[in-house]
Amino acid sequence: MFVLDGRPLVLDVPFTGPDGTQYPANWLRCATPEERLAVGITEAPEPPYYDQRFYWGYDQDANLIPKDHGQLVTLWSSQTRTTANTLLFPTDWMIIREVDNGNPCPANMKTWREDIRLAANQKVSDIESTTTTEELAIYVTSPDYSTWPQQPSGDAE
């Protein structure tokens, strides 16, 4: 990471030097280390990575600062329900057609739709059973959370 006057510089973005000189977007890539140093640009290590969905950053002792667990539980529970509704939406017409004119929805489609609802309820339950932000982050980034029942193929009529 390149730093000028205490602020990071982004590669491929033009910037203005302390003396008002404007540098084009490719200058950092093309300049030699000596040319960068002459302008006052130094290199610093990249800050450590953290998942911004769950943490605010690091404190002065290099410990992660977790976001509020209760708010995250509410957010991720809502997101899980939205995902389930998004998965179900494209097949809603089959249920409406069955109610509207009696043309039956395939049984395996009804089973899959119920499996989606059950999976969503289980995921929300698992989210709500976490007690820390770290525990929530581990669950939400796991395959258990991100895997949903697969829709049967060839059933759209």
For 11-38, write each residue's pLDDT tens digit. 999 999 999 999 999 999 999 999 999 9
E strand residue ranges, 38-154: 41-43, 55-58, 64-66
Query: Which residues have a Cβ under 8 Å from the Cβ of 28 and sit 6 or more positions away?
Result: 2, 9, 11, 12, 36, 41
Q: Are 127 and 73 in contact (CB under 8 A)?
A: yes
| Over residues 5-15, mean pLDDT | 93
Question: 104 burial class (0-12, 13-18, 19+ CB within 10 angstroms)?
Answer: exposed
Q: What number of other Cβ atoms are within 10 A of residue 29's Cβ?
A: 8
Would the pLDDT of 81 be above 90? yes
132 to each of 58, 70, 106, 116, 138, how far by Cα in Å?
17, 9, 42, 26, 10
Conformational region of residue 40, where left means phi above 0, alpha means psi within -120 to 50, and beta covers everything else: left
| DSSP helix/strand/coil, 52 | coil
Conformational region of residue 63, where left means phi above 0, alpha means psi within -120 to 50, and beta covers everything else: beta
The per-residue pLDDT for 46 is: 87
The per-residue pLDDT for 154 is: 61
Closest by Cα among 82, 48, 45 to 62? 48
Would the pLDDT of 155 be above 90? no
Q: Is the dihedral of CA 24, 25, 28, 32 positive or negative?
A: negative
87 pLDDT band, cuts 50/70/90, is very high
pTM score, whole prediction: 0.73
